[in-house]
Amino acid sequence: MQTQPKAALVTGASRGIGRETALKLAEKGYHVFVTSRNLAKLQELSTHSEFIHPYQTSLSSNTEIDELSDFISDITGTLDILINNAGSLINKSFSKTTDEDWAGQLECNLMGPVRLIRGLQSIFNQGGHIVNIGSMGGYQGSSKFPGLTAYSVSKGALSILSECLANELSGISVNCLCLGAVQTEMLENAFPGLQAPVKPEEMGNFIANFALDGQKFFNGKVLPVSLADPK
């Protein structure tokens, strides 16, 4: 009897943490579906492993999610792991933020994962694991930083969503990892010259391992992943 292939989906996988996480999961024998708006970078990523399946999408509509679900179903039938890594960060003081800034942060950092989780429920295997990638900025009691209010609030909402869904989704574990500073392109664009203590490869390896085994120990948890509050 042929066993069903194990499958994972990593959003925002064209660069940084998402890219490294996808590579680690593929190394472990998972079929890894990778999404981004940047198809060229996803196709380059797929050259590293026959188990990596690129799919261009913005995750901005239910129709897009339905089409992604069909794409996954045609290849592996079901899904075991979802890593909501795609995100957006703006560095702008609260007094200068616009309604559009707030809508953009909430759209990418909260509503994208909401649509995706809701739309993929039907193809998730029992015992599956959803890992939402939050931020220390959205972790209650952590140090907060000027310019990151909209970003931190959107990531805080993602943390609460994770706690709620652990009680709503039957047979699927949901956890949120609140990351500290990692030396990614997104961080460099927001904070030129800042040197983070963790490399994307290191964090990608950690997230991949947590996605594989973290649900054995955690469900509905918001977990800080930082050496300390970023200073």
Task: Determine the angle formed by the axes of helices 99-106 and 149-168, rounding to 10 degrees.
Answer: 30
Residues 97/64, Cβ–Cβ less than 8 Å: no
Element (H, E) at 222: strand 222-225
| 231 domain residue, yes or no | no
Phi, psi of 32 (to 5 degrees): -115, 115
pLDDT at 230: 43
Taking the complete model, does pTM exceed 0.85, yes or no?
yes
Name the residue type at position 76: T
In a domain, residue 136? The reply is: yes
* DSSP one-letter code for 182: B
pLDDT in tens, 96-148: 999 999 999 999 999 999 999 999 999 999 999 999 999 999 999 999 989 99
Which residue is associated with the tokens 């927001």? 190
Q: 182-189 contacts: CB < 8 A, separation 24 or more?
A: 182/16, 182/17, 184/15, 184/16, 184/17, 185/15, 185/16, 186/16, 186/87, 186/89, 187/89, 189/89
**Looking at residue 56, which CATH number applies to its domain?**
3.40.50.720
Residue 75 lies in a domain: yes
Within a domain: residue 74? yes
Annotated catalytic residue: which of 30, 55, 139, 151? 151
Based on the structure, what is the number of domains in the chain?
1
Instruction: Tell me whether residue 183 is in a domain.
Output: yes
- pLDDT of residue 27 exceeding 80: yes
Please check whether residue 174 lies inside any domain of the structure: yes
Q: Is 55 in the active site? A: no
pLDDT of residue 1: 47
DSSP state, residue 107: I
Q: How far apart are CA 154 and CA 105, in angstroms?
A: 6
User: Token digits for 109?
Assistant: 């950092």
Query: Each residue of 97-108: pLDDT tens digit?
Result: 999 999 999 999
Alpha helices in the chain (DSSP H): 16-27, 39-46, 62-75, 99-106, 112-120, 149-168, 185-190, 200-213
Question: What amino acid is encoded at 47 in this protein?
Answer: T
Q: How far apart are CA 34 and CA 68, in angstroms?
A: 10
Domain membership of residue 176 as a residue range:
7-225
The token duo for 37 is: 């708006």
Mean pLDDT score, 18-23: 98
